[in-house]
Every structure is written in C-alpha cells, then in structure tokens.
A and B are shown apart, each in its own frame.
Chain A
Amino acid sequence: MGAGTRRGLVFALAGLLAGPTGLTGCAGHSRSFAPIERCLATQRPADALVLLDAQKHAGRDRLLYLLNRAMLLRLTGDLAGSNAHFEQAKELIDALSALSVSEQAASFLVNDATRSYEGEPHEQVLLHMYAALNYLEEGRRDEARVEALQVDLRLRRLAERAPESPFRADPFARYLTGLLYEERGEWSDALIAYRKAFEAYRAHGERYPLAVPPALQADLLRLTARMGLSDEREGYRQAFGDVPTEGSPLEEGLGEVVFLLHSGLAPVKREESLVLPDPASGLLVSVSLPRYERRTRHAQRARVAAGDRTAYTELAHDIEAIALANHEALLPGITARALARAVAKFAAAKSVQKRNEAASVLLNLAAVLTERADTRSWLTLPAQIQVARVALEAGRHDVTLEVLGASDRVLCRQEFPGVRVEGGRRTYLSYHWPEP
C-alpha cells in the first residue's frame, strides 16, 4: 500500500467516523435506556421493568441493573422487592470498593466503561434514602432507622476517600434521618442530624442554588430551644430571620404527613467524541468524554392539600445539580485519562507502522472504535426531591397532590384517599413525576 493510498483510506475513515465537525454523539449506555424512560414518562413502571429485564446487562453494569430494578419495583409498589435489590446493590458496592488490577489496566488500554460501575457518591447515598423511604412507606420505622445509620457509615466512608470533596456531606440524607430520630424521641441524634443537614445545605448552596428548607429551619429552632441551647438557637435565629416556630405537632398529639415529590429524571450522560487525523502519519487520534445533559422539566413545586390544610413543597434535594457539579469536579481526571489513553493508543499504532502498515491501520482503527466515554449513571433517579410537611389530626384523611408548573399551572393531580395518620407519628407519602 502506497503512502498516498494509505492516507486516502485513513482520511476517508476519519471522515466517516468524525463527520464534518469532528464531533460525534455515539450510542452508549444512556441511549439504550430511552425506551425505559418513555415508559416512565407515561407512568408505566411495570412495562419499564419488563424492558429492563429484556435487556442484556454486562457484569460490570450489575450495580446499575440492581439500582434501576429496585427503583422500578418501588414505582410498581413492590417495596419489599425493591429493598431486596437495594440490599444486593449495597453488598456489590462494598465488594467493588476493592481495587481490581485487571479493570484498571483495561480502563487504561480500552476505555473507562470497562470498569465495574461503583456508583457516584450521591447515588450511593440515595440508595439508602430510597430504601429508608420504602421501609417508611411500609410502616417499618426501625428498619428505616437502620438505613439512617448506614447512611452515616456511607458518608464517613465517602469523606475518607475524598476528604476535599464538597459533596462528602449530603443535606437531604441528614434532613430525613433527623426527621426519623426526632419522631422516635431521640432528640440529641435528631439535632445532630439537623445540624449536619444545615451545614450541608449551606455548603451545597455555595455551588448551586439551594436554600435551607424553611421546615428544617423551624426544626433547628425548635430542637435547640427544647435542649436549652440558647446560644446556638440565637445563631440560627439570626441566620434565618423570621421563621414561624410552632411547637412540634407530634408532641401535641397530632400526626404529620411528610410528602415527597420526586420530580423529573436525573440528567443523562452523553458521549462526545473528537476524532482527528494526524497528517504526518495518516493515523487517527480519538478522545471521547462524557457530558451531562439536563432533561426537560416543567414541574416547579407541588401543592399538598388535606382537610383544611394546604402546604407547598420545598426543594430538599437537587440531584440534577449535584450530578452536574460532581461531574464538573471529576472531569479533569476523566479528561487526563482519556488523553493519556489516546496518546498510548496512537503511539502503539505508530510504532508498528514502519514494519506492517496494515497492522498499524487495524490497530489504529481498533483504538478509535474502542475509545468510548463512560456514560453510565443511575437513570431512574429523579431530578429533584421536594418535601411538604402537613400536621393533621389522627385519623383517615384524603390527601390531594397537585404538581404545579410555571405560574402555578396545574400539571397533574393525584388523590391519596384515606391516608392513615397516627398521633405522634409521621406518615410518609411519595409521588414520582418523571415528566411526560
């Protein structure tokens, strides 16, 4: 093969792969999830489950399969089945925390997606939160408390692995665990959890728009007053301004409905590839990086009505913002690995070029074709979790939820008839609105 022919062949392949702009969006893990997303958007989780089970799942993607299956089972109402999958996911995360030399080598030689998926830090924490919500919705409070303790362990472990990470603290997890402890009368544990939630909300709020939920502000003021921590209470009072500080409805014999709106779907990772020909050798250099893409979201908040009480949801967890900010923090490392891989693959092809041109072209093509971005993430997660808390008399109540869009236009209305509220207890209700 002459030099001219070789260059012509490789440039033609480059054109085919790269397109006129040099950028391509290739199919990856996130693309294969599109049919499942369509089922979710039309509130057909059972169909989504069938589709998920029909797909082939590589061993390295088992964690994603378990997490997605657990979430879909939760959406179909099989809370026990959902938690059985979350338990398997936890065991797998622990097993994957050990280093695999073969996977590290493969990720350097092939691509990042050859590694077993361990879950992003916020996903690892949310796993416990959804398991806790499953238990709470089943009325198994002690089991939910176990998850609260496991969250603490998980966060400690994540902080140990990445002590500088701004996301080593999880505001929603701390807030929810505070609610659990307080309901059980474990005041000091509740206050510690609320304090940590407050600190985490402020730390996250420095990176993306997130405020300390007013209900948490009231919790902090109420509990510090109860425990006689007047200096700390004064500090919160100055930070929050005028927050209504009623007594605890639970201590007054009332019950409380904690309503969680899980709106939208978490952002999806897409692949962006850059394929460039090297004019000197005629070989191709390819780099693929993951990029987060936000999903369309119309829901702004929700109105929860029960009896003569109405409350609006407040943003408690912005999963979309956390995923984007976390990705931004990790991107320099991902890029450095991709560049190092591209250089190594190019050097390997070039080194055999003089002795065997055909082998060099094949090696180069294999290198380009195997260069893929890792677009894996837990795609059945919502984009946001919003919370509303409504104090109610003990008894049965019909609860109405209205998901509101811009200018409080009602996007969806859902009835929860005959919700049982116990005095001195919290009742947890959830509604997933993945957006049509």
Chain B
Amino acid sequence: MRCTGRIARGLVWTTLLALCAAGCAPKVTRLDAGEVRDLSGAWNDTDSRLVSEEMVGDMLEGLWLRERAGSGRPAVIVGEIRNLSHEHISVSTFVADIERAVINSGRVEFVASRGERGEIREERKDQDLHASESTRKAMGQERGADFMLQGTINTIIDASGQTQVRYYQVDLTLLSMADNRKVWVGQKKIKKLVERSRLRS
C-alpha cells in the first residue's frame, strides 16, 4: 500500500517535470556585440577580440617598430595562424580581428593575404582587357610585405567529472621577410574554469 503511494507520487512528479521541460519556445534577446557572455566555456568572440587587441597592442609597442622609425611605415601580412587546440576555433575571425586592430592603429601598413591577392590579380588582368587607359591599374606595382605574422592557438584541458579547466595559449611571431629574423614574439594566455551542472531537467 505504502509502496503504491510512493509509485503514484513518483508518477505525478515525473509527469510534472516532463511537462515543465516540454513546450518552451526559444527566447531571443539581442546583445551588444561588445557584451561578454560566456556560455559553454569554449573560445568565443570575446576571447578572439580581446586576445587580438592586446597582442597587436604589444606588437606595436615592440622594439622592432621603434628601430624602424624614420624609414616609413612597415608593411605587414598575416600568414597562417594554426589552430592546434581541442576546439574548432574560427581562425578566420581571429585573423580578421588581428587585421582590424593592426590597420586601425595606423602605425603599419597592411597588405592583402595570399587568397585576397589572387582575386585582385584576376581583377587586374580583367582591367588590362576591359578598363580604360586612364583607370587601368598596372601589374607589378604591388606593395611587398616587410614582415609576416604567424601564430598558433593551443589548449590544455584538465577535466574531472563535470568540472573543466580550459587553458588557452595564443602565440604570435613576427618574422622579417628579408632575412627570416624573428623580430617580435607575443604570447597571451586565458584560463577558464567551467563547471557544468550535475543535474538536468
């Protein structure tokens, strides 16, 4: 008898919980692009923006730029930033953030990446055939890069049960195109503690 009562109460609770979990329509709230919202603990837009801004700030304060004072603004190109982490990080977003931070600083010139150059060259070829003499852009006038920025994104993840410590390390290196010298090396670390709930509905 007592057993039946417990089972009946269990059934009622199960039904109530199931009803609570079901039928919830998605709610959408617009956020400011600068607002920090950490959901899963994974690399997100805030990490990408903060790391790129801080690292580019460090790079532009480096000795290599001061040593070039008086010889014009150097031209920089972003080479490969490799994702060696545990996550499928959007490297192109990170590269775009770096490019934005570098260009907006106004202290260096920025040249198009390999993929972008290909498209421009195609357009120039097309201009050769179809554009008027006065507006046609000549071949062989590209600005060659003086330095290339390369880098890696790495992670170390330590997990136990529903708790994780996620450690991100971003390394960037600026290489001289003329002689392969490493003129600047930057590093940025991010550590996150992610605690997942032990219970769900």
Contact A100 B201 (CB under 8 A): yes
Interface string of B6-22 (1 = CB under 8 A from A): 01001101100110011
A102 (CB) vs chain B CBs: closest residue: B17
Given the complex, which residues of A lie within 8 Å of B162, measured CB to CB?
Answer: 97-98
Chain A contact residues, CB within 8 Å of chain B: 59, 87, 91, 94-102, 105-106, 108-109, 142-143, 145-146, 149-150, 153, 156-157, 160, 344, 347-348, 351-352
Q: Which of A146, A156, A157, A160 contacts B87 (CB 8 A)?
A: A146
**Would you give the shortest CB distance from A243 to chain B, in whole angstroms?**
32
**Would you give the shortest CB distance from B194 to chain A, in whole angstroms?**
10
B183 within 8 A of A: no
- For the A-B complex with A98-B200, A143-B83, A348-B4 known, give 18 more contacts whose Cβ atoms are closer than 8 Å: A91-B40, A96-B200, A98-B196, A100-B201, A101-B17, A102-B17, A105-B10, A105-B13, A109-B7, A109-B10, A146-B87, A146-B88, A149-B85, A149-B155, A347-B4, A348-B3, A348-B7, A351-B4
Q: Which of B3, B10, B87, B199 contacts A98 (CB 8 A)?
A: B199
Given the complex, which residues of B lie within 8 Å of A100, measured CB to CB?
Answer: 199-201
Chain B, interface size: which category?
20 to 34
**Would you give the shortest CB distance from B22 to chain A, in whole angstroms?**
8
List 11 A–B pairs whose Cβ atoms lie within 8 Å, in order of A's numbering. A95-B200, A101-B199, A105-B10, A105-B13, A143-B88, A146-B85, A149-B155, A153-B159, A160-B161, A344-B3, A352-B4
Given the complex, which residues of A lie within 8 Å of B14, measured CB to CB?
Answer: 102, 105-106, 109
By secondary structure, the A interface counts as helix
A108–B10 CA distance with the chains assembled, in angstroms: 10
B1 within 8 A of A: yes
**Would you give the shortest CB distance from A179 to chain B, in whole angstroms?**
17
Chain B contact residues, CB within 8 Å of chain A: 1, 3-4, 7, 10-11, 13-14, 17-18, 21-22, 40, 82-88, 155, 157, 159-162, 196-201
A98–B196 CA distance with the chains assembled, in angstroms: 8
- Count contacts between A and B, CB distance < 8 Å: 71
Contact A146 B86 (CB under 8 A): yes
Contact A149 B13 (CB under 8 A): no
Q: Which of A98, A109, A145, A351 contacts B84 (CB 8 A)?
A: A145
Given the complex, which residues of B lie within 8 Å of A149, measured CB to CB?
Answer: 85-86, 155
A109–B87 CA distance with the chains assembled, in angstroms: 40
Q: Known A142-B84, A143-B88; judge A160-B4 contact (CB<8 A).
A: no
**Would you give the shortest CB distance from B86 to chain A, in whole angstroms?**
4
B18 (CB) vs chain A CBs: closest residue: A102
Contact A109 B18 (CB under 8 A): no
**Would you give the shortest CB distance from A285 to chain B, in whole angstroms?**
16
A287–B21 CA distance with the chains assembled, in angstroms: 29
Given the complex, which residues of B lie within 8 Å of A99, measured CB to CB?
Answer: 198-200
**Would you give the shortest CB distance from A103 to chain B, in whole angstroms?**
9
A96–B199 CA distance with the chains assembled, in angstroms: 9
Task: Pick the 3 closest A-B CB pairs, nearest first.
Answer: A102-B17, A98-B200, A149-B86
A351–B40 CA distance with the chains assembled, in angstroms: 48
Contact B13 A109 (CB under 8 A): no
**Would you give the shortest CB distance from B24 to chain A, in whole angstroms?**
12
**Would you give the shortest CB distance from B9 to chain A, in whole angstroms?**
10
A114 (CB) vs chain B CBs: closest residue: B14
A245–B197 CA distance with the chains assembled, in angstroms: 50
A97–B11 CA distance with the chains assembled, in angstroms: 23
A152–B13 CA distance with the chains assembled, in angstroms: 39
Given the complex, which residues of B lie within 8 Å of A160, measured CB to CB?
Answer: 160-161
A95–B201 CA distance with the chains assembled, in angstroms: 11
Contact A156 B200 (CB under 8 A): no
**Would you give the shortest CB distance from A168 to chain B, in whole angstroms?**
15
Contact A94 B196 (CB under 8 A): yes
